[in-house]
Structure 1
Amino acid sequence: MRCSICADETEEDEDSRARNSLAQEFGDGPVYTHNWAVHIEGGAPIAEDLAERHGFIYLGEIMPDYYNFRHNHVAKRSAEHSYHMHETLSQEPMVKWLEQQVAKRRVKRDKQFNDPKWPRMWYLRRGVNLDMNVMHAWEKGFTGKGVVVSILDDGIEKDHPDLKRNYDPEASYDVNSMDPDPQPRYDYSNENRHGTRCAGEVAAEAGNGICSVGVAYNASIGGVRMLDGDVTDAVEASSLGRNPQHIDIYSASWGPDDDGKTVDGPAALARKAFADGISKGRQGRGSIFVWASGNGGRSGDSCSCDGYTNSIYTLSISSATEHGYIPWYSEACSSTLASTYSSGSGNERQIVTTDLRKSCTELHTGTSASAPLAAGIIALALQANPSLTWRDMQHIVVMTARPANLKAEDWITNGMGRRVSHHFGFGLMDASAMVDKALNWTNVPEQHVCKLYSLPASKGILINGKVEVMLESDGCLGDYNNAVRYLEHVEAIVTLEASRRGEIEMFLTSPHGTRSTLLAKRSRDSSHDGFNNWAFMTTHNWGELSTGTWKLEVHNGLASSELKTWSLNLYGTATRPQEGSQHTHYNPEQEKCPSYEYWLNDFCYSRCPDGFYPANVSTSDNATSNSTSLLAVCLSCPEFCNSCNASSCLSCNNGYVLSNTSTCIVGHSSFEGHEHGLDTNDHRLVFVVIAVSVCFAALSLFILIFGILQVKDGECLRRKQHYIRASVKEDDSLDRMVIPNKDAINGLSAEMVAQRQGLLEDSDSANEFSADITDIETTKVVKVPKC
């Protein structure tokens, strides 16, 4: 039997060989394909006509008004861009945009181990509050019926006996071969088994005596075959936008290389597909995109450098091991929303699911296995309430995820009292709690975005140094269309230059003090490309208030770097999202805040602002009853107090100090004893008088010192001149040096001549002596004492 460490090393060696093979094929530069994405107005007939007239083959529609062209006179893969092939096509008035497609490296996020098999489906029937409560959701009658899930991967075995009953051809397509059949390509290594394994986790049929049971075993399951070939922007967009009025949930367990040095994300068409999906999909309620957070943990990778998991449009899912630990392959980042179970070390069980060639496996692993489990749980909640929007679903996940039993050292409590971790997000998904929330849910208010921009000032960062920059936020509350009071996602848009990108760390601290790690060091990332308007996203401020000071910290290791620009995108709502109620804000006469919040001016706060203190006040339960209850509120502090309790000030505003009686008094000794201080005009007068007095004293001192120095220098000058003249008349027997007469000097100053011949040992005397040299033909110079 192999030890677990050995098994892990074997798998990494296989991964390394696969990446090396890809590197040999792709190299460092882009690899251009013989396909073009073309935006054409006028419909498919016009697109077909243009393709034929310009020597292209029309391959079909990518999404409305975007078409896929191929040119057979261009190499299938090339390092060279074929500009000349589309030059004439680009001149057509109906062509609004076109781009030769680039083959992108995308890797499947699963890991394989040759460990002994363990009892099946442990993660669905653990009990004792350790599982994801899927069985409880089933007991309530929710099995995914009526919900459609599509697996974006290398195809699914649609005739697998555990999948064929739930297979949905309308949720399926082969983008690689451009036909309706998503059947995977078979080879000796069963390379294309990934999609079939993911599909079984979601919707393997229950009660048929075959293989496993899917989390949503009555959901419809489809597959889009898109990873078994060149993955271009057009391929991704076509997959993400496939039949969005029919497919509810898209599950993706792939992304850019998890090698610890790649920074990559969706390109133009894929970004448009995401935006169209959340705004138009599911009849305007928004497509739900579930994404595996990545398997680059052993390579020191960060999912903050993956533009798919880092997107506000995706529900990013990480993994927890059977015993609640962080898996060795897990990537930590602030964009992860929640976790489900997957594989861990050699003595921890893995995931059971369908496998290629109509078989079954108990060895599905990695975050690849976690994302489909999350998609199945989301299908249960969507069956409970089909009216949920894509944002409703994210809110429900945040509110119901359970941190308990998940072991990480970075758990913190954010400003809304919610526990959150960079490894596990808000915790383990809870299917039963999610369907309960969904049943009584009221759609969240409209999403707004408040954009805050810093001043364009570059800041260099020393080796092993850091910079801290601030942005003040008013939440755009004065702008109705952009006002954000309650936060959902937060993006820091950063442009930064670095001689070694992997040496950079970034942290964002909210006005509530919640500190998110936007970027951790990546030892394998030696790129000097830095970041260009890269959006680092955090979910850790979910539910917090947006107003106050935001702080960005950029730490630099053994490299030179410069922060060029940064800005913030604050996503959220102007009014407080409140499930199960039509109220858009809290009113003390109608209802109370949650147990961890305080009421102030029709809103609930996780902690009282400066100048207020928390208290409980009595309030009548209704107008006709004498019964009362306690309401948690924020009450105003006494005048000039910055913080206080119910009986006294604890700290004072600027310009005031805390007196012995715990009140705030003006901070100047002349006014001690005046407990209420001065008004604004009195303060200004005091400061003016003090400033004028200080300036007058400084000026007087300067004049005095200057006068003393002038008198001293004049006396010194007179003494030197007298000494020199007296010495010239003295006896020649004295030890003196002789300087040539005036005619020999040839215009040089007496000082220069004297210094060059070593005649003056005290250069201070040369300037004084030079005035006398014109009156004598030969002058003898002696040492002149200093003053």
Structure 2
Amino acid sequence: MAACTVSFLLWIVALQWISAQDYSSQWAAHIEGGLKTAKTITEKHGFVLLGEIFPDYYHLEHSHVSKRSVNPGIEHHKKLTSEQNVKWAKQQKILSRSKRDYLTYVRDSRDSKRFAIKGGLNDPKWPKMWYLNRGRDMDMNVQGAWEEGITGKGSVVTILDDGLEKDHPDLIKNYDPSASYDMNNRDEDPMPRYDQMDTNRHGTRCAGEVAATANNSLCSVGVAFGASIGGVRMLDGDVTDAVEARSLSLNPQHIHIYSASWGPDDDGKTVDGPGELATRAFLEGISKGRGGKGSIFIWASGNGGREHDNCNCDGYTNAIWTLSISSATQNGHVPWYSEACSSTLATTYSSGSNYESQIITTDLHHECTSNHTGTSASAPLAAGIVALTLEANNKLTWRDMQHIVVLTARPTHLLASDWIINGVGRKVSHSFGYGLMDATTMVRLARKWKTVPPQHICNVTAQVFEKPVPARSTVTINLLVKECNSVNFLEHVQAKISLTASRRGDIKIELTSPSGTKSTLLAPRTHDNSHAGFHVWPFMTVHMWGERPFGTWQLTIHNEGKLLGRSSLHEWCLILYGTKYSPRTLSPNIYPVEQPPKPIPRRNSKNSKKKSKKSKSQKQSTTPISTLIKQNISSNKPNVHIVLFPIPNSSKLSPTLTDNIQTYPSSHRLYSLQNVDGRQTKKNLSPERNISPTTSATMTDWEMVFYGTIFPPEQTHVLPTTSLIQNRTSQEEPEINFNSGECRVTTTKCLGLLLILCAIIPYF
């Protein structure tokens, strides 16, 4: 009995110790009146002012409060907030944040040997940097940019991590003290804390990938070896919302790119994201950073693949402000640690299986390593490529950069089973985003880039209701989007969802656009046993980039739980980010797009099954020959335009194009029909069913398919005039007479007759 009592007490103490990590001794406070007033107030109540987060927002610490406590410091909080100038204050909670590499048990390859490489760089590890130099579209194409004189010069990159060995021989030349700070020790020296296990090597490794000096006979070569590099030491201590906010907003008029290879725990059961201060830091960065062009935040997508994690449960990687980067192995496969996620924009190379090579970079103690791993290694490579792109055009905004990544990423040589073609013909994957980043192509496109149109935001709220989702069932909810605050061309799409579930890990959520692009917002997570569900959680997808938003959106929720695993959807809304005008008209598409391999919907497709059951002798409603030109925005192919010719039930079947295509849609709709990609626009002419009463053969259906473009190729962006259409439709059409059993057609129309016969014969 005594032993049980002791065990119980020890368990209580352990539980309290774990809970004691919740509250820190730090506060964030909004104090009006300037820095002098803030110091006076904080000192009066025993606080130490650690620094400014935003104007009039301060980071504080109380010396008489435990660094980790199960209970909040209520008394100190009351005293602070009693001051008239204190408009808001919050005691900070300690957050769990993990670096996104994984421990390898292979001894690091540390080699300081110096030798020259004939005809190339003399950095000893350069020949083994396969992800930069193997060519054949199987690297990230950085050498082409280097050959054009682009090295990242003028770009400033900061690594938000566990420190930076600023005196490393391969980094010291490019080290920038103005891009560095130590949030843990609260000084300007970002040097890491050394221990026997080298646990704080992460930041130095990431920095070398970006800006290791080239051609100095040392270690490796950075992607942007001419860029300036800094480091923020912020992970080697208690991480709070205030610490993250200060790190993300460090010197935003000097720093261009913030690279982060960490985030909430990748354990397959955590749902977490930036707090209110960090969220404001992101917003301040994209709106005010870099002189208003916007700070560029690059984030590693996560290493929770083995735990069946999903990075849409990570509020950093699924934010529209971050450029989320995934990994590919040396052989182009999905790594075992990778998380499939709809918010991933693109991919760079990293580690894979044991037999595949890893990433080479700088290491602690002035050494070099060949064993950098995980999505931690992917994000800095992306940061280096972005630094090259900014040198080519430093006027690019944060959204420009995301557009350039989408337009230039290469899906070739990346092997995954989840590649799809979206509504604008681009390949996209939950594993790789739009593909492998291509440095040279990004640089060349950046030189001639025109700023994308302003961002518009449309919030479409579904009708508030309670929708139960029983175990082993699926619920689909439709949401119609019409005119939407000038969002005509999509960028990011968010679905903010509130639901409860007896087991959160059983839930799968999919979103389908009006163009038919299906995106998995959340996959089942086997380790997530939480009952918390989701509360207004913003699931994000980039898979509809460039599509039109108009039409019916479908939200599908699957409950894969056991018999009693109930779930209920409480509310959801759709947030559409995009532009009024098409950014595509401002620049050419770098890689050809493909038509989505989806069936072309017929008009009134919902009733097609009912119609097929009707008697063939049943008469259709007779109407004069008419034309309907319509952009089928609610179909699976928004860029396919259908022309329908209802035909009277007569013995003579002779549709002509003459004087039929005369009615134009509005100028706005006509603009939307433009073939801006140079692809064929497809028109279907589908006459109504016609049954001939005088022949033994009965034609039940026929179809003519014309392939072409709306405008002459040299006038792609010019609206057509009536004369163009009149000239195009002034030709005669062949006539087929089924009464006589003969076909009479002029000699010049033989080809047209042949096409019609090919369409008719299969129906006899």
* TM-score normalised per structure 1: 0.73
Residues 1:105 and 1:275: Cα distance change in structure 2 (over 3 Å): same
Return 571-580 or 522-531, whichever deviates more: 571-580
1:101 matched residue in structure 2:
92
Instruction: Give distance in 2, aligned partners of 1:236 and 1:79.
Output: 22
Which of 152, 155, 162 is the aligned partner of 2:160?
A: 152
Q: Does residue 336 of structure 1 match 2:327?
A: no
2:730 matched residue in structure 1:
none
Instruction: Give distance in 1, aligned partners of 2:407 and 2:491.
Output: 12
Which of 5, 30, 42 is the aligned partner of 1:51?
A: 42
Q: CA deviation at 1:579?
A: 5.9
Please show how residues 259-298 of structure 1 align to structure 2 within 5 Å.
259-298=267-306
Instruction: Give distance in 2, aligned partners of 1:457 and 1:551.
Output: 16
Which of 537, 549, 555 is the aligned partner of 1:552?
A: 555
1:577 matched residue in structure 2:
583
Which of 202, 212, 223 is the aligned partner of 2:210?
A: 202
Q: CA deviation at 1:561?
A: 0.6
Which of 213, 222, 233 is the aligned partner of 2:241?
A: 233
* TM-score normalised per structure 2: 0.75
1:671 matched residue in structure 2:
none
Please show how residues 509-528 of structure 1 align to structure 2 within 5 Å.
509-528=512-531
Task: Look at both structures and tell me which one has the larger radius of gyration over its CA atoms.
Answer: 1
1:180 matched residue in structure 2:
188
Instruction: Give distance in 2, aligned partners of 1:650 and 1:433.
Output: 51
3-state SS of 1:73 partner: coil
Query: Which residue identity lines up with residue 470 of structure 1 in the other structure?
Result: N
1:92 matched residue in structure 2:
83
Query: Which residue identity lines up with residue 59 of structure 2 in the other structure?
Result: N
Q: CA deviation at 1:45?
A: 0.7
Deviations 1:161-201 (A, max 9, x none): 00000000000000111111101111111111000000000
Which of 200, 223, 227 is the aligned partner of 2:231?
A: 223
Q: CA deviation at 1:88?
A: 2.2
Q: Retained in 1: the 8 A contact 2:499–2:569?
A: yes
Q: Retained in 2: the 8 A contact 1:644–1:650?
A: no
Which of 441, 455, 478 is the aligned partner of 2:449?
A: 441
Q: Retained in 2: the 8 A contact 1:115–1:346?
A: no
Instruction: Give distance in 2, aligned partners of 1:391 and 1:473.
Output: 24
1:363 matched residue in structure 2:
371
Q: CA deviation at 1:72?
A: 1.2
Q: CA deviation at 1:608?
A: 3.9
Please show how residues 379-398 of structure 1 align to structure 2 within 5 Å.
379-398=387-406
Q: CA deviation at 1:82?
A: 1.3
Which of 488, 505, 519 is the aligned partner of 1:502?
A: 505
Instruction: Give distance in 1, aligned partners of 2:481 and 2:431.
Output: 28
3-state SS of 1:348 partner: coil
Instruction: Give distance in 2, aligned partners of 1:198 and 1:236.
Output: 18
3-state SS of 1:394 partner: helix
Return 45-54 or 144-153, whichever deviates more: 45-54
Q: Does residue 491 of structure 1 match 2:485?
A: no
3-state SS of 1:45 partner: helix
Instruction: Give distance in 2, aligned partners of 1:613 and 1:355.
Output: 67
3-state SS of 1:424 partner: coil
Residues 1:25 and 1:539: Cα distance change in structure 2 (over 3 Å): farther
Which of 317, 329, 335 is the aligned partner of 1:321?
A: 329
1:564 matched residue in structure 2:
570
Alignment length, in residue pairs?
598
Query: Which residue identity lines up with residue 371 of structure 1 in the other structure?
Result: A
Q: Retained in 1: the 8 A contact 2:426–2:594?
A: no
Q: CA deviation at 1:27?
A: 3.4
Instruction: Give distance in 1, aligned partners of 2:170 and 2:152.
Output: 16
Which of 41, 48, 68 is the aligned partner of 1:77?
A: 68
Q: CA deviation at 1:112?
A: 3.2
Query: Which residue identity lines up with residue 506 of structure 1 in the other structure?
Result: I
Instruction: Give distance in 2, aligned partners of 1:183 and 1:105.
Output: 22
Q: CA deviation at 1:350?
A: 0.2
Query: Which residue identity lines up with residue 239 of structure 2 in the other structure?
Result: V
Residues 1:474 and 1:57: Cα distance change in structure 2 (over 3 Å): same
Deviations 1:672-731 (A, max 9, x none): xxxxxxxxxxxxxxxxxxxxxxxxxxxxxxxxxxxxxxxxxxxxxxxxxxxxxxxxxxxx
Tell me, which stretches of 5 or more residues in structure 1 are unaligned?
Answer: 1-22, 477-481, 587-592, 618-630, 636-642, 652-657, 664-787
Residues 1:24 and 1:161: Cα distance change in structure 2 (over 3 Å): farther
Q: Does residue 60 of structure 1 match 2:47?
A: no
Q: Retained in 1: the 8 A contact 2:644–2:687?
A: no
Residues 1:462 and 1:386: Cα distance change in structure 2 (over 3 Å): same
Q: CA deviation at 1:648?
A: 2.9
Instruction: Give distance in 1, aligned partners of 2:36 and 2:630.
Output: 60
Q: Retained in 2: the 8 A contact 1:34–1:72?
A: yes
3-state SS of 2:200 partner: helix
3-state SS of 2:173 partner: coil
Please show how residues 582-593 of structure 1 align to structure 2 within 5 Å.
none
Q: CA deviation at 1:461?
A: 0.9
Q: Retained in 2: the 8 A contact 1:112–1:363?
A: no
Q: CA deviation at 1:97?
A: 1.1
Query: Which residue identity lines up with residue 57 of structure 1 in the other structure?
Result: V
3-state SS of 1:578 partner: helix
3-state SS of 1:88 partner: helix
Instruction: Give distance in 2, aligned partners of 1:366 and 1:515.
Output: 28
Query: Which residue identity lines up with residue 514 of structure 1 in the other structure?
Result: T
Instruction: Give distance in 2, aligned partners of 1:346 and 1:113.
Output: 10
1:778 matched residue in structure 2:
none
2:542 matched residue in structure 1:
539
1:719 matched residue in structure 2:
none
1:140 matched residue in structure 2:
148
Query: Which residue identity lines up with residue 498 of structure 1 in the other structure?
Result: A
Residues 1:78 and 1:441: Cα distance change in structure 2 (over 3 Å): same
Instruction: Give distance in 2, aligned partners of 1:113 and 1:136.
Output: 33
Q: Retained in 2: the 8 A contact 1:443–1:579?
A: no
Instruction: Give distance in 1, aligned partners of 2:32 and 2:96.
Output: 31
Q: Retained in 2: the 8 A contact 1:442–1:579?
A: no
Residues 1:39 and 1:352: Cα distance change in structure 2 (over 3 Å): same
Query: Which residue identity lines up with residue 645 of structure 1 in the other structure?
Result: N
Instruction: Give distance in 1, aligned partners of 2:290 and 2:632.
Output: 33
Q: Retained in 1: the 8 A contact 2:159–2:258?
A: yes
1:698 matched residue in structure 2:
none
Deviations 1:394-421 (A, max 9, x none): 0000000011111110100000100000
1:645 matched residue in structure 2:
684
Deviations 1:616-652 (A, max 9, x none): x9xxxxxxxxxxxxx99689xxxxxxx972363599x
Deviations 1:200-234 (A, max 9, x none): 00000001101100000000000000001000000
3-state SS of 2:307 partner: coil
Q: Does residue 410 of structure 1 match 2:435?
A: no
RMSD of equivalent CA atoms: 2.9
Tell me, which stretches of 5 or more residues in structure 2 are unaligned?
Answer: 1-13, 110-124, 601-628, 646-656, 658-670, 676-681, 691-697, 704-764
Residues 1:287 and 1:560: Cα distance change in structure 2 (over 3 Å): same
3-state SS of 1:205 partner: coil
Q: CA deviation at 1:466?
A: 1.4
Deviations 1:500-525 (A, max 9, x none): 10000000000000000000000000
Q: CA deviation at 1:609?
A: 6.1
Instruction: Give distance in 2, aligned partners of 1:659 and 1:98.
Output: 78
Query: Which residue identity lines up with residue 648 of structure 1 in the other structure?
Result: P
Deviations 1:327-375 (A, max 9, x none): 0000111000000000000000000000001100000000000000000
Q: CA deviation at 1:120?
A: 2.2
Residues 1:602 and 1:456: Cα distance change in structure 2 (over 3 Å): closer
